[in-house]
Structures are given as structure tokens and as C-alpha cells.
Amino acid sequence: MLDDDEIAETVLNVEDEMDEDFDTQEVQVACPSHEKAFRCLEVALKWLEWQEECDP
């Protein structure tokens, strides 16, 4: 059985390993193309026009 100090050391070691793994991974941000963003905006505007609360 682990005592309090051993538990704390184990948790800190796991957190350090997780931080190292995150640092080595490349974080990629996915951005839509201009065409896809424009099409999504068109769909959103059409949807908004069809809403009853909307006054065209």
C-alpha cells in the first residue's frame, strides 16, 4: 500500500508524463476553406430567412 507521499509522487509523475506527451504532439487547428465557410453562411442566412420571427 502506498503512503501519502508515494501517492503524491505517482500523481505528479503521471501529470509530468502527460505534459510531455502533449508538448511533443503537434496541435493542428482545422479551418474550413473560404468556399465551405461561404456555403455555410449562405445556408445559415437561408435558414434565418425561413424563421417566423425574422422580418425579411
Yes or no: say if 48 and 54 are a contact pair by the CB < 8 Å rule. yes
Please state, in angstroms and rounded to a whole number, the distance separating the CA atoms of residues 6 and 4: 5
pLDDT score of 10: 75
Q: What string of pLDDT tens digits covers the 56 residues of the chain? A: 767 787 777 777 766 666 555 555 556 667 878 888 899 999 999 888 888 775 65
Determine if the pTM surpasses 0.95: no
Query: Hey, what's the cell of 51?
Result: 424563421
Please state the separation of Cα 34 from the chain's center in Å.
Answer: 21
Please state, in angstroms and rounded to a whole number, the distance separating the CA atoms of residues 4 and 7: 5
User: Domain limits of the chain?
Assistant: 4-50
